[in-house]
Structure 1
Amino acid sequence: MTALVALTGGIASGKSSAARRFSQLGIRVTDADEVAAEVLAAGSPALDQLCDVFGQAVLTPSGDYNRKAMRELVFGDERALQQLNAIVHPAVRERTQALLAEPHDKPYQIWSIPLLLETGQQGIPDRIVVVDLPEALQIQRVIARDHVTEASARRTLSAQASRKARLAVADYVIHNDSSLEALDSQVDYLHQTLMDDFT
């Protein structure tokens, strides 16, 4: 049985870079965001359900899922957010479980999931890896990457699990407050540790 290692972290923490490195090392990565995109593809049952609940505003002119419009619809509206989650989360979980169950020739696999704590799934993986950085640097990176205001970046952070909560569940921490090379080096070291753990 291939062990399951969750890779998580806040927005702009460097999860994608860490996941890329694990993949380069031959480890299968199942990305929750990619699964969500697949589940919400044009014509999918989940997207049809969203249209039934929220109307055509959740679609782009070409009929694809309009993530930005959906975010604006649910922002500050707890009931709308619950409706969204009730449709999307079960579909994503079902598809994720199918992908994670596929045979893999390595002792462990990576499940890249930004909202591990927020969705209450921290009890599922065998190990949890948190990509961490100081909040001030995280805010700088969100502003630079997404071209948003500091207030908007802080709002996004406040909607996620706190840094303290993530670190409290971490088995391993990757510190991403330096260069990409430093992050890759930490992933390489952790990869060897996990290979030793599960063989």
Structure 2
Amino acid sequence: MAFLLHQARFFTTVNHLRDLPATAQPEIAFAGRSNAGKSTAINVLCNQKRLAFASKTPGRTQHINYFSVGPAAEPVAHVVDLPGYGYAEVPDASKAHWEELLSRYLQTRAQLRGLILMMDARRPLTELDRRMIEWFEPTGKPIHALLTKCDKLTRQESTNALRMTKKGFDEYRAAGHTGELSAQLFSSLKRIGLDEAHELIESWIAPAEHAGEAEAAAE
């Protein structure tokens, strides 16, 4: 099956909100702790080996990287790779810049359609993961968690991690969160959950086309 994400290419890098591109296409943001496997997951989802780069100094990259999705002549969306977070040795000034950049982007970017939140399946819903959710939830836009590296867990451990994450999301709903909150198991190495993630992301990028394909399949 052909996916729009397979037609992805580097677009631009920005380090300040004022430099965000004046594009109208929908954006899907990818966020996650340092070492949660975010860059690898983006590469696998886009069927490329080196589209997104993992920093050699985790937590030091303070840039937002944009990738165009769809035909080169007429992109239909952008994948937005946000800086990784949670690396202990980052200077305070870098942490402050990170918080300002990510929180304001997540809260104010009108083009943003949803957030893909990468969480290591062995340590889901850390304090910083929750902070990302709490920054983004007032927008009412969907959040989908990829519980990465699930191949490192047993089947029972994976089931427990997913159940715990969904229980955590239920608490946000009970507190009044109105946006969609969903989660799945994911492994870039074993390609677990790849089709499920593709389907969801593409439904955010091109909801009308996705609905049409679902109706055709049901007939």
Q: TM-score w.r.t. structure 1 length?
A: 0.44
Bigger relative CO (Cα 8 Å, ≥ 6 apart) = 1
